[in-house]
Structure 1
Amino acid sequence: MIYELMINNYPDSYWFQYDSTIVDLYEFLQCKKIQSNKPVVFKLEKKVSEKRLLSYDIYFSDGPEFISPRLANLLSNNQDFLHDVQLIDATITVNGCSYSGYKALNFLRLISCIDMNKSEYVPILDDYPDGPKNFYKMVLKENINEQFCMARSEESIGLIVISESLRQFFIKNKVKGIDLSTSCNQPIYGYSEV
């Protein structure tokens, strides 16, 4: 069984802005290793409770997703995870203070995981019917034989999926910031390609 990487109880005020001057956002969509000598930067312009914000383990932005130092440490010895995801050094700025030790997620795996026969979609561009899709209803495949931990969807690169084993790892380690209950049998409505 596979699961969509979904937000859970994540306030709108916690969405970070990604500074693309070090690594362009487009590079994160290529599913290839990124070479960077400097940490990427995420900024939060809104005033928030730092204690509450920093208690999360997975963060969302207008660029790539990124993880806390705690989760990065937990995943640093997981070879299956590191085969699928490159961890890139990241710094965050909150309320004018900088914090290091965060890691941006660069997904290296691309898998076919959407059941196109059960999903409802239209091409974004009429002249390019095999190109990116605008999904009205997305249904994930129930049986995927490919072994993976975390990957981008081949059919919709904006969709990130996780395996059952990684989901169990997140549950065991009480990872905060994502919904770990949505299964592949529940359709996802109103999802668009990036």
Structure 2
Amino acid sequence: MMISRLMCGDVYPDSYWFQFKREEISVTDLMDCEKIHLKNPLIFTLNKKISEKRLLSYNYYMSDGPHFISPRLATLLKNNEEFVKEVQLLDAIVIINGQSHYGFKVFNPLRSIPCIDTDKSESMAMLTSQPDGPKLFTKIVLRQDITEDFWMARSEEAASCIIISDKLRQLLIDNQIKGINLKD
């Protein structure tokens, strides 16, 4: 099975980086692969002179916290029963120049799978005092011998790395999703 890293597309403008309002959860909470119960939606803000229409044509957005997706992509994925068994979609409000936009979501993959080819990837110890401890990957090469059937998961070796299956990649291509790198 072919797998890919979930990454922002090359054409994503730097001016579209949102600020994440850290209140109820942190980015590390999303790396636990467990359901999160929020009292309020997550909030992302952008205060820049930009074309709102062009910005809202994207389906995947970057922030200084978690990345998030458009209402269009959220609806597409919410209607996929298999996908929502594996990935919790957390509510998000996006505030652009003071104007609130609703229906955005943050991915919270509920499973992790071993998927990094540690022989071909490059990493270093996060703590020099623990050379066999947690690794910081400087180059990630994914294994292509994954037999598990999944839509989206976190990498067991590097929790910040989200991987997608070929069936999800194809769904994104078929629906002309903008903002995600879908190249081979």
TM over 0.5: yes
Confirm or deny: 8 A CA contact 1:31 1:108 kept in the other structure: yes
The equivalent of 2:132 in structure 1 is 130
Paired residue secondary structure (2:83): helix
Give the distance between the partners of 2:85 and 2:79, measured in 1 at CA: 11
Q: Which moved more, 1:163-172 or 1:71-80?
A: 71-80
Alignment of 1:9-158 (within 5 A): 9-158=11-160
Moved over 4 A (4+): none
Confirm or deny: 8 A CA contact 1:64 1:106 kept in the other structure: no
The equivalent of 1:177 in structure 2 is 179
Shift of 1:128: 1.9
| Root-mean-square deviation (Å) | 1.2
Give the distance between the partners of 1:131 and 1:67, measured in 2 at CA: 33
Calculate the TM-score normalised by the size of structure 1.
Answer: 0.89
The equivalent of 2:163 in structure 1 is 161
Calculate the TM-score normalised by the size of structure 2.
Answer: 0.94
Shift of 1:11: 0.6
Confirm or deny: 8 A CA contact 1:65 1:104 kept in the other structure: yes
Give the distance between the partners of 1:24 and 1:116, measured in 2 at CA: 28
Give the number of equivalent residue pairs.
Answer: 182
Give the distance between the partners of 2:130 and 2:45, measured in 1 at CA: 36
Give the distance between the partners of 2:82 and 2:134, measured in 1 at CA: 29
Paired residue secondary structure (1:7): coil
* Consecutive unaligned residues in structure 2, runs of 5 or more: none
Shift of 1:59: 0.9
Shift of 1:83: 1.7
Counterpart residue identity of residue 170, structure 2: Q
Shift of 1:178: 0.8
Counterpart residue identity of residue 61, structure 2: Y
Give the distance between the partners of 1:58 and 1:80, measured in 2 at CA: 21
Percent of pairs with identical residues: 53
Confirm or deny: 8 A CA contact 1:48 1:95 kept in the other structure: no
Give the distance between the partners of 1:78 and 1:130, measured in 2 at CA: 40
CA-to-aligned-CA distance 1:95-150 (integer Å, 9 cap, x gap)? 11111111111121111110011212211112223333222332110110111111
Give the distance between the partners of 1:129 and 1:108, measured in 2 at CA: 29
